[in-house]
Amino acid sequence: MTGTGAAPSGAFDADLVVVGCGPTGATLAGLAALRGLRVVVVERDRELFALPRAVQCDHEVLRILQELGCAEEVMADGIVNEGLDFLAADRRVLLSFSVPPLAPTGWPTSVFFHQPTLEATLRRAVVSLGVEVRLGATVSALVQHDAGVDVAVSGAGHLRARWVVGCDGARSATRQVIGTSLRDTGFEEAWLVVDLQLEGAVPGLPSRCLQVCDPSRPHTLVPMPGGRFRFEFMLLAGESADELLDPASIRDLVSGWIDPALARVERAAVYTFHGLVASTWRDRRVFLAGDAAHQTPPFLGQGMCAGMRDAANLAWKLAAVATGGAPDRLLDTYQAERQPHAQAVIDAAVEFGRLICLTDPQAAAERDAGLTAARTGTGALTGGSGAAPNLIPGLARGAAVGTGGGALSRQPTIDGVRLDDLVGPRTALCTAAPLDPASPAAGWWSVHGVALDATTNPGLAPLLEGREACAIRPDRYVLARGGVEEVTAVAASVLQGHGAPVAAGS
């Protein structure tokens, strides 16, 4: 599927070809198109997958969907996540985490959704942005050149593109082009996932997620919108997938919580939960994103979220190189930033899974005692019976993150408009006082971004954290904080490859 050769002749058919139109691929395509790139998505399936898989997204994903213009619609179709309770086998509450209703990004901290509904909404938004989506097509070959990639599409000829990003899932064919291996975290457990369509109101079902730490069979309950409910049951040693997928077995498993006659099984499938990370995410002009680059156990609900973070991180960098004069080395910061970030989330999910998946009664009893101690304030676990700990790290300082940067920025509302809507797909500078119009910094930002000040817009003050200036990248992570000249120099280094503030037009 891969090769090298002389540079392709003729104009490019697209700046970017995205392989796969799942949530990661669609998000990347839409964000790249918003930044002026010509994007073609190649998707092997003709129809959306009709059954739910992912069920939760966080506030950062809602913020990404905000930029694509569909966050409000996703919210209208979802339900806000209230929090998570750990229960003992006898259903005593061991530990309880509440989810703040609103995050500093301006969106609910966590929302449960129905994936086919979300994907349909996302695709409509992406197509409206001018993305060409070719359904029922597969990429059969990729040949890289110095200036681009020749993409052979089965039954649809060839495309010439500047870059290709494989968002083609856990069995990614694009990953073979990269020639990378997957590093295994050592966690592997099989679970039965059962999605129910409720026939009506069912009393007794929880309105928040429950993790039942029962050593006889660990299981999870997740409320879903649209009259749906999800159960997840761990397979025990010696059990087969076929055994648990038997309708009688499913009825027995759910009957501890619901009368099976009150619901219809919409989907039942056995998945092996594991944590995997690709060692290489870029080979010249071909990249990996989403499940093609990393796979996480679902215990934190971060699989889809991680892929959409990949998309947000990579889209602005591709556009900066393609149209903004940024150096190609900016694209190397994609893996440098996203791999440790994704790995940290996977590691947290693995530890979470190991805590849940205990089947030894003695070990489970010790765990229960530890969770109870944490709830009562006498143990070492973080969180207690209050707000959930923040398990999503910031970005480490590096080539695209300067001093004081790396955190996801807040999103205040300015005169009734959310900050991101005001800024658009640009790098933003927030300052304590207005810039001198004659200064090199003012000239530079008038060309390469947008400058706002907390004197005119007091709601921006928290972004500064007491500093003179704060630069925010197009993916809404803080680029740097400090003096105006210092922060502008960091922005110039990232977007133009040199570090001195420059005048307008340079």
pLDDT single digits (tens) 1-21: 555 544 444 589 999 999 999
- pLDDT tens-digit series, residues 346-362: 988 888 888 898 999 99
Q: How confident is the model at residue 44, as a pLDDT?
A: 95
144, amino acid identity: Q
Domains of the chain: 14-77+113-182+277-330 (3.50.50.60), 413-496 (3.40.30.120)
* Residue 3: burial class (beta carbons within 10 Å; 0-12, 13-18, 19+): exposed
Q: How confident is the model at residue 463, as a pLDDT?
A: 96
Sorted by sequence, the CB contacts under 8 Å of residue 143 that are 6+ apart come out as: 2, 3, 4, 5, 149, 150, 152
pLDDT at 380 over 50: no
Beta strand spans in 298-455 (E): 413-414, 417-418, 427-431, 449-453
**Is 154 strand, coil or helix?**
coil
Q: How confident is the model at residue 499 (pLDDT cuts 50, 70, 90)?
A: low
- pLDDT tens-digit series, residues 83-134: 999 999 999 999 888 888 899 999 999 999 999 999 999 999 999 999 999 9
Instruction: Give residue for tokens 């960091």.
Output: 490
Six-digit token string for 89 = 């086998």
Cβ–Cβ under 8 Å, residues 274 and 151:
no
CA–CA separation, 71 vs 75, rounded Å? 6
Q: How far is CA 20 from CA 88, 376, 406, in A?
A: 41, 47, 29
pTM metric for this prediction: 0.93
Q: How confident is the model at residue 485 (pLDDT cuts 50, 70, 90)?
A: very high
Q: How confident is the model at residue 349, as a pLDDT?
A: 86
CA–CA separation, 161 vs 172, rounded Å? 19
Six-digit token string for 262 = 């009150």
User: 109-123, 130-144, 175-189 — which is least confidently predicted?
Assistant: 175-189
Cβ–Cβ under 8 Å, residues 84 and 388:
yes
Q: How far is CA 328 from CA 89, 204, 319, 494, in A?
A: 55, 56, 11, 10
* Residue 152: burial class (beta carbons within 10 Å; 0-12, 13-18, 19+): middle
pLDDT at 237 over 80: yes
CA–CA separation, 403 vs 218, rounded Å? 44
pLDDT average, residue stretch 252-259: 94
Mean pLDDT in the chain? Answer: 91
Q: How confident is the model at residue 377 (pLDDT cuts 50, 70, 90)?
A: low
